[in-house]
Amino acid sequence: MCLTQVLCTTCGSNQVRPFGYSTHDVPRYYCCNDKCEIKTFMLEYRYKACEPGVKEKIIDMAINGSGIRDTSKVLGISKTTVIKTLKKKKSGLVKVNPNIQTIDLKSDAIIHVGLVCQEAELDEQWSYVHDKSNQRWLWYAVDHATNTVLAYVFGKRKDEVFKELKTLLKPIIGKANTQKIERKNLNFRTWIKRLARKTICFSKLEKMHDIVIGLLINKVEFGVNIHAI
C-alpha cells in the first residue's frame, strides 16, 4: 500500500488531519498548526482561482503590463475574479513612502525619522481611462539623490491636484527640480501599458487604473509587500 504525506498548502506543516469532503466529494483537510492563517484546504480545486498562489499571480501580472483579459486567459480564471482581487488591494495602498516616519511626542513638535530628502523632483505623467477625453494624470515626486518615489496622487492636470501632492511632500523636502524624474517616467511606461503614449490598453474605471499603478509604486518604489495588504 502506498501512502502520500499531505502538507498544508499555506504553511507547509505536516500537522494535518482529514476534514470531510466538499460538495463534489473532494477530500478536505484541516491544518492543526496554530500559526497557520488558513485552516481548511483541499489539494484539488474545481476552480483554478482557489488554488494556492493564484491571487499572487494576478497581482504580479497586473504590475508587469498584463491587462484583465490577459490575466484571465493565462490563468484560466474569470475576468470578474481578476477585478475583485485587484479591488481588494485598494485599502492597503499608501500614497507616501512608508520609509518616512513621523513621531508625535504629544506636543507641538513632530520629529521625522528614516528617509531624509533635501531636494525632490516633481512631474506629471499622462494617461486616460475609458477614452482619451477622460485624461488621468499621475503626479509624483522623487528624491533627487536616490531617484526613489516619495509620494504620488492621481487626478486632472489642475492646480488642486498639484497642491494635494505638495501637501504630502511639505514635511519631508526642501526644494524641487526636474532632472532624473524623466527617466522614471520611462520606467513606469515600460512596466504598465496603461501609461504608454500610444496604446489600446486602458482601464474602464478610474478606480482600477489607480489601483494597478498604485500597486506598482507600492511594491517597486516603497518596498511594500503588496501580497500581504
| Per-domain residue ranges of the chain | 1-46, 49-88, 94-221
pLDDT value, residue 101: 54
Residue ranges of the chain with per-residue pLDDT less than 50: 103-105, 110-115
pLDDT value, residue 176: 53
CA 189 vs CA 12, 160, 194: distances in Å:
38, 25, 8
CATH no. for 49-88: 1.10.10
Q: What is the DSSP letter of 84?
A: H
pLDDT value, residue 136: 92
One-letter identity of residue 116: V
pLDDT value, residue 173: 61
pLDDT value, residue 105: 46
Average pLDDT along the chain: 83
pLDDT value, residue 112: 46
